[in-house]
Chain A
Amino acid sequence: MTKVTLISSKGTGAPKPERPDSLYKKRNQIYPKLAHGKYRMVKWLVMAATLGVYYVVPWIRWTRGDGIPDQAVLADFEGEKFYFFFLEIWPQEIYFLGGLLILAALALFLVTSLFGRVWCGYTCPQTVWTDLYIWVERAFEGDRAARMRLDQAPMSFNKVWRKGGKHAVWLLIAFVTGGAFILYWHDAPTIARTFFTGEAPLTAYFFAGVLTFTTYMLAGTMREQVCTYLCPWPRIQGALTDEHALNVTYRFDRGEPRSPHRKDESWEGRGDCIDCKQCVQVCPMGIDIRDGAQLECIHCALCIDACDDIMRKIGRPTGLIAYDTDKAVSLRASGEKAQYKLIRTRTVLYTVLIALIGTLMLWGYTSKSTYEFSVLKDRSPPFIRLSDGRVRNGYTLKLVNKSTTTQAVNVSVEGLGDAEFEIIGVGTAPSGGSIILTSEAYGVDRYRMLVTVPAGDEADRDHLIVEIVDTDTGEKVAASAPFTRGEH
């Protein structure tokens, strides 16, 4: 046997060899500079609107009727309902929620294939709250240069109160964020009061705490790392975007070759980019847009504002960085005329799918019935043979009445030929007969039903259909269930 010495044990204090590169990328603190311009203004407005919606919506009231919550938007776990203004979704109709999520996803796909990552750049909660947190940071510590100086400076009273104040306000915002979240799951005025008197349910405190923590962490300290490392969306982008999608783009055809420019210098034979790096300084992701489309870029368009500012100052046309398509830029670069194409296979496909699913859901919602009705066969015993040879099966009827009035409904059993049935505590019906039941307003009723077929009835019918008819409106709902005869 050969003895293999993998590592020599005769170490003699030789210099420690270079370690391979670490698998972790060190994070460089980003100090985004404040941009001024139309996109910055749009972002302020979108921030005001989205935060406004988030904080105001749970307080909107919507009258529905006695004993029904009057909150416009409410996920009522105790009452097992989801309310959204005129919409009211019962647990049995949870597929509407699935449909809404599919619609939202498709809308996101459509917008992305047309205008790039506008969701990331303007409306994503991560972007909005990070923007808000940076605004607070700027208020306490000043703009980019001042913040960098402060971080380099030794500990002092000035540094402590500025940093402390910033974190205090951040935590306050985080708590208000987490606090507002729970308003969507409870009656807002009640939970807002009981939360502070200590009477709110434990889950409310738990989720307020979780959201406070995540808001503080994600918007305060993690920031761009959330988009780059945590979020799957930037990775999905690659499949959604193409060369015709509008993206925040550096027009290299106009900008290159770049170099610093003196006032009296000619613009002949060089690009418009003067390499002032303003686009890099305002970037909240810490990237250089001139490197082209990147995973990290959230397309917030702040570099457009920064660059336009400089272009105006040096007397060149604005739009060196602008919303543009890869196709248009490369066409211009090769001396051709730029082309834009909004109607493409994918945009048409998304639009058609949205229309289709939207119509389907609308049809489903408008034609949905007042009743939800199911017939559940007893699993044990599967069938009952009576002393005279007749065969009986037991069932549970579950009748959901979504209207706010108590209704009388007529129940009949079909599909088994000569079958009589009984509803325990209500009455019996001969073959072909029916029984009247009351269906309580806005609730679920359970009835126990026994169906009996005559002895020797060996028909191969093994399903029954229970039909209910509203005695006022004539509305019909039916449900079927198996019937077991057993082997003989």
Chain B
Amino acid sequence: MTEHKPDIDELSGVETTGHTWDGIQELNNPLPRWWLYVFYGTIVWAVIYMIFMPAIPALPGTGMTNTPGIRSHSDRALVAEEVGKLNAERAAASSQLLDASLEEIETDMNLQQFALAMGESAFGDNCATCHGAGGRGAKGYPMLADDIWIWDGTLAGIETTLRHGIRHLEDPATRNSAMPAFGRDGLLTAKEIDDLVQYVVKVSGGTADMSAANRAAPVFAQQCVSCHGADAKGNRSLGAPNLTDSEWLFGGEPRDIQQTIYNARNAHMPAWQGRLDDATIKALAVYVHSLGGGEK
């Protein structure tokens, strides 16, 4: 057995590791003591943590996913508890919302402030994905802040739409109507549809090819008036939009209109009854009604 001879660096008097790179040696300085203590501390902490908190994955067949630790900590349970607390705090105001009619909620300033705050946050969580912040709308998703309503813009009407959705066929009370896909189903020829597009452009006040529009007048009378009306002003009870205004849910360019007639659109909105509680639905109705175009 040979005696270990430490290689001592001359200048600093510190032992080296024996590693040399391009003549530069690595000194074998000990770790700072404070660092070591912190390191040992973290080891002790890890052991304590494993005893108190969920830490070790459990073996299969034990019925657990992991060891619960003696504190039985669960983030999921904590969230549920927090939500429960929030609901308890809101209980008084929520029950007032349930008892009051939508009109009463809107005219009682305290209830209104509560409903608008609640409605705004619920709208952001559930509705703004499609309808946009503040109900500004997008192509295919109606703007909720103006006074153009396809179905109903009164407080009660908005509530009905919220509860039962649009073309949400699992709900028998849903708002439902179906425009035929005139092109796809072969009800009209491509030529007839092109003429019809010019007719719709004309009634909405755009510059149209008048001869094409005139050719389409009998087709419109035959195929479209039953829902959109002879004056093309639509029919709310059928969810048939007014074609004479300048607002287009799916775009007002001839190409867009052609697509609408050829394939039909029949947009869909889910029913929220059962997903959101009654107080939230009422708050949402008041919120949407206040956005800018609510009807009396």
Residues of A that sit less than 8 Å from B by CB: 3-14, 16-17, 378-381, 384-387, 392, 394, 424-426, 438, 445-448, 450
Q: Are B109 and A6 in contact (CB under 8 A)?
A: no
Q: Which of B1-55 contact A (CB under 8 A)?
A: 7-11, 13, 16, 20, 22-25
CA distance A14 to B20 in the complex (A): 21
The 7 A-B residue pairs whose C-beta atoms are closest, nearest first, are A381-B136, A16-B13, A11-B8, A380-B134, A380-B133, A5-B23, A11-B10
Which residue of chain A has the shortest Cβ distance to B103 in the bound complex?
Answer: A425
Q: Are A17 and B23 in contact (CB under 8 A)?
A: no
Choose from B9, B23, B106 the contact partner of A4 (Cβ within 8 Å): B23
CA distance A447 to B135 in the complex (A): 19
Which residue of chain A has the shortest Cβ distance to B107 in the bound complex?
Answer: A425
What residues of chain B lie closer than 8 Å to A17, measured between beta carbons? Answer: 11, 13
Q: Are B16 and A9 in contact (CB under 8 A)?
A: yes
Stretch at the interface among B141-149, B171-179, B209-217, B266-274: B141-149
Choose from B109, B242, B292 the contact partner of A392 (Cβ within 8 Å): B292
CA distance A386 to B146 in the complex (A): 6
Q: Are B112 and A381 in contact (CB under 8 A)?
A: no
Is residue B223 contacting chain A, with contact meaning CB distance below 8 A? no
Which residue of chain B has the shortest Cβ distance to A8 in the bound complex?
Answer: B10
Choose from A384, A424, A426 the contact partner of B146 (Cβ within 8 Å): A384
Q: Are A381 and B23 in contact (CB under 8 A)?
A: no
Q: Mark B263-290, 1 if CB is under 8 A from A, else 0.
A: 0000000000000000000000000001
Given A392-B292, A450-B292, A11:B7 Cβ within 8 A = yes
Which residue of chain A has the shortest Cβ distance to B290 in the bound complex?
Answer: A424
Is residue B293 contacting chain A, with contact meaning CB distance below 8 A? yes
A13, A16, A386, A425 interface centre (most CB from chain B within 10 Å) = A425
CA distance A394 to B8 in the complex (A): 80
CA distance A134 to B236 in the complex (A): 87
Q: Which of B140-194 contact A (CB under 8 A)?
A: 143, 145-148
CA distance A5 to B20 in the complex (A): 10
What residues of chain B lie closer than 8 Å to A378, measured between beta carbons? Answer: 134
Q: Are A6 and B116 in contact (CB under 8 A)?
A: no
What residues of chain A lie closer than 8 Å to B256, measured between beta carbons? Answer: none
What residues of chain A lie closer than 8 Å to B247, measured between beta carbons? Answer: 387
Is residue B113 contacting chain A, with contact meaning CB distance below 8 A? yes
Q: Are A9 and B148 in contact (CB under 8 A)?
A: no
Which residue of chain A has the shortest Cβ distance to B287 in the bound complex?
Answer: A448
CA distance A425 to B112 in the complex (A): 8
CA distance A384 to B148 in the complex (A): 11
What residues of chain B lie closer than 8 Å to A447, measured between beta carbons? Answer: 109
Could you give 19 example pairs across A and B, Cβ below 8 Å?
A7-B10, A7-B25, A9-B7, A9-B20, A11-B10, A13-B8, A16-B13, A378-B134, A380-B133, A381-B136, A381-B143, A387-B148, A387-B242, A387-B245, A394-B134, A394-B145, A424-B290, A438-B109, A446-B113
Q: Are B25 and A9 in contact (CB under 8 A)?
A: yes
Q: Are A425 and B109 in contact (CB under 8 A)?
A: yes
What residues of chain B lie closer than 8 Å to A392, measured between beta carbons? Answer: 146, 292-293
CA distance A5 to B112 in the complex (A): 82
Which residue of chain B has the shortest Cβ distance to A396 in the bound complex?
Answer: B116
What residues of chain A lie closer than 8 Å to B294, measured between beta carbons? Answer: 424
4 extra A-B contacts, CB within 8 A, seeds A378-B134, A381-B137: A384-B292, A394-B145, A424-B290, A425-B108
